[in-house]
Amino acid sequence: MSSLWIVVIGVVVIYLAYTFYAKRIDRTVIQADPNRATPARMYMDGADFMPTSRFVLYGYHFKSIAAAGPIVGVITAANLWGWLPSVLWLMIGVSFIGWASDYSAIMMAVRNDGNSLSAIAHRLISPRTRRILFVFIFFYLLLIAGAFVGIMAGILAARPDVPFGILVLALAGLFAGYAIYRLRMSIVGVSLLTVALTLGAMALGPLGATFTPGKPTDWSTGPISGIVNSINASINSGGEIYRVTDPTFADPRIPAPVDGKRSDTATYVAATNEIKVLPNFLFWSIALLVFSYLGANMAIWRFAQPVNYIGFWITAIVIGVSAIGALIAPFVTLPNATAPAGAFALQDAKGFMGATAVGIQPLWPMLFVTIACGAISGWHALFGSIGTARQLEYETDALPVGGGGMFSENTLGLLSLTAVAIVGTGAGAGAFAAGVGRLIHVASFQTIPLPLGTALGFGAFVVIVLTVVQLVFRVMRVTLGEWLGDRWVGFKNQHVASIVGMVITMALVLSGTWVYLWQLFGASNQLLAALSLLLVTVWLRSVGRNPAFAGIPMVFMYVTTMAATIVTAYNLYATIATQPGQAVISIAGAWAMIAVSVLLFVAALLIAYDAWIAWNRLRAEPTPAAAPASG
């Protein structure tokens, strides 16, 4: 297998699924009608409801949903089960479930006067469903923040070449917001300047460091990485704080095995498979929270939006160049290599139970929550319905925008998989960055050196994750205020709500095991998707349409994700909570995450019960005649 085949398979499968399945559902079940007035045209208010060209909307929707989810999930899954199961789920998941979830949620909102899914759930199922949504959303945000802050702090602590790019990104973001909104400078000019500055800073990070094959990089020789390295060394002078374990070896701080064995590093003890939590990990975690605090509390135009915008371009450039590299890599053999650069070195399948030292990682259900957004995402459905649905000019635009956006996001997942698979060793972000580095090296006809390409891969990874995290905290403080603001008015204060969210996140980062955090996030995300499909199923039943295309995937996702929460809770119990020799902080974190698993499980059960009641109520009512397709 090679990168070119992945591109070919991806294009063919997406074309077939879109042309022969998605369009058929759009035409025969939903019966999208270009002559029916959409909420954007009926309630045009110049702000929320506004008819917009489908090409503009597709660009906006794709940019909005394309984030770190399809990248992180895929590289973790490929590490645990091999590349083949990951490719299969990416292809099957997006073809039969992913696009259907995003598209049908948007269409349901369009047909219900642009109401959000929570309002529709309140009306169609029960008021309790809407309240449970708060719980889901809050824990979804908490888990994604914990997983992302943990992985980024690990990278920043281990790679002295990355922080400089992040610092420049923050400054460039501040400048871009001021220049566009206050100085009214051209967006094109500001974009070119700030993106070039940030890319330049990312390239300067590793400049001068000594890269020797087979040996650890000497960062002290670089002008910028040397300074960061000195800061790290002085912070770490007090030694480790405590140790945690990751039975799945998916934590980015665990080094790749060489000849089947992992060696000791500054943060890893191979003999006991323990990760040392050093003071600089704590330092970078706090630095990330400070960055996120600014994004969560400053006016959105001043920081979060322009930082996100610059980050998008950095990622788009790196991913775009990598995609070109993936196309030509099978035909290029690098010096000192025996196989083409695009040949897959990663094992195709690692067995049903996955690569784990202790605990269990069965392919079903764990693969389906580990790969989250690349195949299906509840977040897209839940909040695409309030943004995109209110801007659709014609009903027939929903498929290319909603469905097409999800298919496009799937290609990000495939590219991440390619990057990891051609490197073959390593875990998490390290494998992704090494793969991206090789693809950039190939795409640039070997003019960009491998270490610089890898540094850009790391930088792009951190940028895309960081831009997401600051917005996660922004949404989290609003959710907390809405959910608990009536109990204590302090939660309605944005600074208090932000700090509460960050303190809980920090506790998770310091006490939790990264891979379990990620898998719990995936479970909450997929449960949101199942909930969205459940709503669509009930809605289709209420209007006399065949709900099978949403109902069957809904049952699969519901059962799978609920099983996954049980497996994760068991893993936490068996591998950390009851294991002798674990640090107290790890045990406390494991129990907290077990409690979250139980909470998600019970919440999902309650929603399913309420939906069953609603379904039976609708069955008892006479089936309304399906509306004509047009006229």
Partner 1 sequence: MDWMTEPATGPRSAVRPRGLRAALREFAYGMTGYEFARHALETRAALENLFMVVVVGDMIGLPVIPPYYALRLLPFVTPEIATWKRRVLREREFSDQHEYHLHGV
Which residues contact partner 1 (rule: CB under 8 A)?
Answer: 34, 40-41, 43-53, 55-67, 115-119, 134, 180-181, 187, 191, 300-301, 304-305, 308-309, 311-312, 316, 379-380, 382-384, 386-387, 393-394, 464, 467-468, 471-472, 474-475, 477-479, 482
CB of 116 to partner 1, least distance (A): 5
Task: Decide whether 398 or 563 has the Cβ nearer to partner 1.
Answer: 398
Q: What is the DSSP letter of 625?
A: P
Task: Decide whether 25 or 57 has the Cβ nearer to partner 1.
Answer: 57
Give dist(CA 318, CA 436) in Å, integer.
8
**Are 389 and 96 within 8 A, CB to CB?**
no
Task: Decide whether 46 or 628 has the Cβ nearer to partner 1.
Answer: 46
**Number of Cβ within a 10 Å radius of residue 461:** 28
Torsions phi, psi for 339 (to 5 deg): -110, 160
For tokens 């990416």, name the residue: 90
Give dist(CA 89, CA 81) in Å, integer.
12
Quote the Cα angle for 278-581-253, to 5°: 35
Task: Decide whether 45 or 259 has the Cβ nearer to partner 1.
Answer: 45
CB of 520 to partner 1, least distance (A): 17
Task: Decide whether 224 or 607 has the Cβ nearer to partner 1.
Answer: 607
CB of 393 to partner 1, least distance (A): 5
CB of 41 to partner 1, least distance (A): 6
Any residues with CB less than 8 A from the CB of 10 and at least 6 apart, and which? 91, 410, 411, 414
Task: Decide whether 244 or 480 has the Cβ nearer to partner 1.
Answer: 480
Task: Decide whether 4 or 147 has the Cβ nearer to partner 1.
Answer: 147
Continuous segment of H or E residues that includes residue 155: helix 127-158
Task: Decide whether 477 or 545 has the Cβ nearer to partner 1.
Answer: 477
CB of 148 to partner 1, least distance (A): 11
CA atoms 230, 232, 234, 240: torsion sign: negative
CB of 141 to partner 1, least distance (A): 9
Task: Decide whether 191 or 265 has the Cβ nearer to partner 1.
Answer: 191
Nearest Cα residue to 510 out of 588, 574, 450, 408: 588
CB of 45 to partner 1, least distance (A): 5
Give dist(CA 546, CA 396) in Å, integer.
19
Assign residue 202 a region (left: φ > 0; alpha: ψ between -120 and 50; beta: otherwise): alpha
Task: Decide whether 88 or 196 has the Cβ nearer to partner 1.
Answer: 196
Any residues with CB less than 8 A from the CB of 105 and at least 6 apart, and which? 117, 380, 381, 382, 384, 385, 389, 402, 532, 535, 536
Continuous segment of H or E residues that includes residue 242: strand 242-245
**Are 401 and 57 within 8 A, CB to CB?**
yes
**Are 86 and 389 within 8 A, CB to CB?**
no
**Number of Cβ within a 10 Å radius of residue 174:** 17
**Are 272 and 446 within 8 A, CB to CB?**
no
Give dist(CA 297, CA 477) in Å, integer.
9
CB of 97 to partner 1, least distance (A): 19
Task: Decide whether 51 or 247 has the Cβ nearer to partner 1.
Answer: 51
CB of 485 to partner 1, least distance (A): 10
Any residues with CB less than 8 A from the CB of 517 and at least 6 apart, and which? 143, 146, 147, 150, 508, 593
CB of 403 to partner 1, least distance (A): 16
**Are 423 and 433 within 8 A, CB to CB?**
no
CB of 588 to partner 1, least distance (A): 28
CB of 404 to partner 1, least distance (A): 11
Task: Decide whether 310 or 567 has the Cβ nearer to partner 1.
Answer: 310
Please give the C-alpha separations between residue 150 and each of 239, 253, 372, 511, in angstroms, as whole numbers: 19, 10, 18, 10
CB of 300 to partner 1, least distance (A): 7
CB of 486 to partner 1, least distance (A): 12
Q: Residue 611 corresponds to which tokens in the numbers above?
A: 């939906």
Radius of gyration of the chain (CA): 24
Task: Decide whether 48 or 218 has the Cβ nearer to partner 1.
Answer: 48
Give dist(CA 284, CA 623) in Å, integer.
58
Q: Taking the mean position of all CA atoms in its chain, how far away is CA 17?
A: 23
CB of 70 to partner 1, least distance (A): 12
Give dist(CA 515, CA 520) in Å, integer.
9
Nearest Cα residue to 573 out of 359, 364, 370, 353: 359
Task: Decide whether 44 or 203 has the Cβ nearer to partner 1.
Answer: 44
Give dist(CA 283, CA 267) in Å, integer.
15
Task: Decide whether 81 or 291 has the Cβ nearer to partner 1.
Answer: 291
Task: Decide whether 309 or 432 has the Cβ nearer to partner 1.
Answer: 309
**Are 502 and 582 within 8 A, CB to CB?**
no
Give dist(CA 334, CA 308) in Å, integer.
35
CB of 337 to partner 1, least distance (A): 36
Side chain identity at residue 148, one-letter code: F
